[in-house]
Chains A and B, each alone.
Chain A
């Protein structure tokens, strides 16, 4: 058989798969062993260290006060995020207004609420009565319609909600603004050429598309918010952490109760992850060529949220 014949045969027939000796990677093995040793020692201490007191953890995991705390944490998160999102959209739209008072006002709001710590803001709202003993609602510089003492109007709950929600609004404003900017100018022009007003264009065309950009960081914010609600414990509002604190202040089982709280925070953030995936998929409509994948493909992309959409 001549060389040319051999070549032509190889071109027509499929050549054999390559079988090569893989490169040795001792570094990988060493790294893997280190990780395993560290993991094993952590597990060993978790199991053997009496301080963890798993019995107490189990005992308090479904304690009614803890469960109440979980509910309050959820309630605070949902309400604060709702305030934050609505405020964020309003501030972001204001920021883009041609009216300098509106855009400037939005800028100052964001500057103030992003520039001071959330903990300080919460303490401010809690102590607002020291600054404004009474609150009057009515015509500016005119007669007052509602007159109340700050301490009755701004309860701990209201202070918590104001602190978390108003702070979140500043962050959401920037996220929404980034989303609005990401939508092509041509979309606005097309909508306007069809006779749609600015508000209608924003609501029907720009915001729905901006959602793709807004959602992932909003999911992030929600998860942060779930955890940031724990700051409210400093103003003695009985959310999850404060409920745990109240219990260990009495029985001194500090670590087990902190573990109980952590478990619940983990459960809630994990649920938030799943929710985020489904909401993102809803707003990804029209942006992927592929139709809905198999259950397996969805499960895989769900496990790698960064690669979803």
Chain B
């Protein structure tokens, strides 16, 4: 069996005295789509942010592609990674945020080409060509020169997906990508994600879209109060939950 893309062992995270993650154990295999469900405050977004080191974990082990996140292990000791090394690892992980976080002072195309040019050192023309291709793929071929402000939420989120994909990541993290969207705009974003899943991208998706989770996810985990309450296939967790807490949550959102 090949190494999992993401492996978490007893991951703990505290904010001051508030313990948000109380020992998360999970594995995401290559090419797998994992959906994380759970009530707000359950720690799912925090866990996602730990994976690309936007948050530091306090205890446990977290690794991506066989390498520890944020540390290097040698001689039985953990050494903090230098900022540049952290940045290099982040470049291999795409992240899509709830509030899009597009760069408002740049056009859609500039948003997508910035990191490939500045971080990967791609040639400008090559980066622009690829960006056009990606924007086409998410259905925004005609919006390349538009500033984010003039795009709808759904369009902005699709630009954000294209921006993350432009780095050719090996893993994509989605932090409630459709929660800030008007209901009629959700579909286009989910379509783009569905397409990505079909292309074999490894994805972790924090979401409240049960339909999407059921249809696209290979694995579903249900988090509550900083622990994994239940995990399995969508059929097991969403259709036939064993735990009362899962059942209670699902009865509220379905």
Chain A interface (Cβ < 8 Å from any Cβ of B):
184, 186-187, 189-198, 200, 204-205, 208-209, 283, 285-289
Contact = CB atoms under 8 A, between A and B. Distances in A.
Contacts of A192: 54, 87, 90
Q: Which 6 A-B pairs have the closest CB atoms?
A: A195-B91, A190-B101, A286-B147, A194-B115, A193-B95, A186-B101
B101 A196 contact: no
Given A196-B118, A197-B87, A204-B114, A286 B104 contact: yes
A200 B148 contact: no
Contact of A208 (B87, B105, B164): B105
Interface of B: 52, 54, 83-84, 87-95, 97, 99, 101-107, 114-115, 118-119, 147-150, 160, 163-164, 167
Contacts of A186: 97, 99, 101
Contact of B149 (A189, A195, A196, A286): A286
B149 A193 contact: no
Contacts of A184: 101
A196 B86 CA distance: 10
Contacts of B97: 186, 189-190
Nearest to B91: A195
Contacts of A187: 101, 103
10 contacts: A186-B101, A192-B54, A193-B52, A194-B91, A205-B103, A209-B103, A286-B105, A286-B148, A287-B104, A287-B105
B34 to A, nearest CB: 18
B88 A194 contact: no
A188 to B, nearest CB: 9
Contacts of A204: 114, 118
Contact of B83 (A189, A193, A198): A198
Contacts of A190: 95, 97, 101-103, 160
Contacts of B101: 184, 186-187, 189-190
Nearest to A187: B101
B69 to A, nearest CB: 13
Given A187-B103, A286-B148, A287-B149, A194 B119 contact: yes
A194 B83 contact: no
B83 A289 contact: no
A204 to B, nearest CB: 7
Nearest to A290: B150
A195 B121 CA distance: 12
A181 to B, nearest CB: 16
B147 A194 contact: no
A152 B230 CA distance: 78
Contacts of A288: 149
Nearest to A291: B150
Contacts of A286: 104-107, 147-149
Given A190-B103, A192-B90, A194-B164, 12 more contacts: A189-B101, A190-B95, A190-B97, A190-B101, A191-B103, A194-B114, A195-B87, A195-B91, A204-B118, A283-B105, A285-B147, A286-B148
A206 to B, nearest CB: 10
Contacts of A283: 105
A193 B88 CA distance: 10
A191 B106 CA distance: 13
B102 to A, nearest CB: 8
